Structures are given as structure tokens and as C-alpha cells.
Amino acid sequence: MSVGLVPKSASERVLGATSWFVFAFLYAPIIVLTIFSFNENDNVGIWTEFSFRWYGEMFQNDAVMGALRNSLIVAVISTVVSTLLGTAAAVALEKYRFRGRTAFDGLTYLPVIIPDVTMAVMMLLFFVQLFAMLGGLGLSFQFGLGTISLSHIAFSISFVAIVVRARLGQLDPSLEEAAADLYADRRTAFRRVTLPLIMPSVLGGALLALTISLDDVVVTSFVSGPGSTTLPVYVFGLVRRGVTPLINAVSVVMLAASITLVLVSLVFQRRGDGDPGSAGI
């Protein structure tokens, strides 16, 4: 029997059809969303003609722009802080033996596993208690961008730590020893050898943290205050008042940004995979 001319069995046909169906199920809404974001009509469901009208309105809309600004502030702060802390945690867990390391190790993964709502309630209660205590000292704090940023940092650290640690685990431990053997002190060895080698995963982790922060609705809506609405929370609020093509436009922009960030993150992580610095002949 010649290769490639094997007749397809019934089960293969069913499998093929199923996978097309799954793809359609996943991506059809996205395509519809995207197409209708370019619709001229006020009504989401009725197509009239192609236009950038809603994209224009989006940029004119102060509420959208304010929410976008808030989102970006929170995302930048939480990404920078969680990348630094997450990387430090990964290095500590991978390289040093200390009391409570095993417990700490397990707890690192917790924020990834626990449901968003639980995380949100936890953060809310934490801040309420904290503010009450600080209030007792005569200090007054409010929910706002600060609390949102802290909450995002709290769950992003785990993602960064996990990504960075995977990479650290692949590194040949002799590399840092070799640097020390060649007269580098600990800090220099880390800066000139370990850090460049884990940099792809640090950047990958940072982009992941950025994406998660930009997309988060649940935790943010629990710990936000007046005037600190972020873009996803704003969109969520709009939907409850009825869908307008404006939401389509905002969603498409957020979707494009998220996909771009995730792709860039994958590229960074992939780039590091080639030479994990192990012996290998």
C-alpha cells in the first residue's frame, strides 16, 4: 500500500471533525468580537459598514483612558516589584539551604493554585485588618492603586518564581563554582554568569506578571477604591449596563496586548532553552 493513500477510517474522520469544532468553539467568538469592533452601527448585533469609529471613541472616552492609565500604573509597579522579589525567591530556594525552606517551597505555588475569589477575599480582609491597626496609630489609608498593586504583587511573585526556578534548576552548578574559581566574588559571579543565563526566564516571568496584572478583574475589583478602576474592571462594569461596540474595541485592544505579551514571553523563554549551560557533548 502506498504511503499517503491510506483511506481514512470513520473514527479518524470523527476525530478530525471534532478538532475543527473545538477550534471553532474557541476562536469563533474572538473573530466575531474582532469583526464587530469595526462595525459602524450603535448596536452590537447589526452590521452596517466597516469603520474605526469605536476605536476613535475609545481614545476620546475619559473613563476608558483613565482606567487604562490605572491599569498601566498598577501593571508596571507590580511587574517590576514581583520580578525582583520572585527572582530573589527562586535563587534563594534553588541555591540555599535554610530553615523552613521546604515549607516556603510549597507555599510558593499556593497563589497559583488557589481560586481568584479566595485570593481576593484574603487580600480584602488583610487590608481591612491592616488599616484598622494602622488607624489605631493615627495613620489613615484607603483602598486604591496602592492596594491593587500590592495584591497583584502578591500573586505575581509566584509566577515569576516558578518560571525562574525552572531555568535555575537546569543550570550546571559548576558554572558558579567556575566563576568563583576564576576569582569572581559571589556578587560578580551572580551578575556575570548566573544572571545572564537566567535572564530569558526572568524576562519571561516579568511578561507573564504583566499579562496577569493587566487581565485581573476579580482581585482588583475587591481591593479597588474610588477612582482606581482598572480597564478590565471598567469593561466588566460596562457589560452589566449593556454591550456596546465600544467594549468590543477595548476588548480587542486588550486581547492584542495580552497575546503579544504572552508570545514575547514565550520567545524569551524559548531562547534560553538552547544552552542550559550543562556539559552535554
Partner 1 sequence: MSEAVELSGVTKRFGDFTAVDGIDLAVGDGEFFSLLGPSGCGKTTTLRMIAGFEFPTEGSLRIHGTEMGLLPPNKRPVNTVFQSYALFPHMNIEENVGFGLLMKKVGKSEIDERVKRTLDMVQLGSRAAAKPDQLSGGQRQRVALARALVNEPEVLLLDEPLGALDLKLRQSMQLELKELQHRVGITFIYVTHDQQEALTMSDRIGVMNEGRLLQVDDPEELYERPKSRFVANFIGEINLLDGTVGSGGEIELGGDLRVSGGDGLAAGTSVGIGLRPERITLHDDGMVPDGRVALPGTVASRIYHGDYYAYAVETPAGHIDVTEENRAGVQTHDEGIRVVVSWDPSASTVVVD
Q: Compute the distance between CA of residue 143 and CA of residue 128 in angstroms, rounded to an integer.
A: 9
To partner 1, the closest distance from the beta carbon of 194 in angstroms equals: 10
Q: Kindly state the number of chain residues that form the binding site for partner 1, as judged by CB under 8 A.
A: 25
Q: Which of residues 236-275 bind partner 1 (CB under 8 A)?
A: 274-275
Binding range to partner 1, per CB under 8 A, among 3-11, 48-56, 168-176, 219-227: 168-176
CA dist 117 → 53, 112, 150, 236, 248 (Å): 36, 12, 16, 16, 26
Q: Which is nearer to partner 1, 12 or 177 (CB)?
A: 177
Which residue type is seen at 161?
A
Q: Which of residues 173-212 bind partner 1 (CB under 8 A)?
A: 174-175, 177-185, 188, 192-193, 196-197
Long-range contacts of 109-116 (CB under 8 A, 24+ apart): 109/158, 109/162, 110/158, 111/154, 111/155, 111/157, 111/158, 112/155, 112/158, 112/159, 112/162, 116/216, 116/218, 116/219
Q: Which is nearer to partner 1, 144 or 277 (CB)?
A: 277
Binding range to partner 1, per CB under 8 A, among 17-25, 67-75, 147-155, 172-180: 172-180
To partner 1, the closest distance from the beta carbon of 267 in angstroms equals: 17
CB of 235 within 8 A of CB of 178? no
Print the binding letters for residues 113-152 with partner 1: x by CB under 8 A, - otherwise: ----------------------------------------
To partner 1, the closest distance from the beta carbon of 187 in angstroms equals: 11
CA dist 264 → 71, 83, 270 (Å): 20, 16, 10
To partner 1, the closest distance from the beta carbon of 175 in angstroms equals: 5
Which residues would be at the binding site for partner 1 (CB under 8 A)?
172, 174-175, 177-185, 188, 192-193, 196-197, 274-281
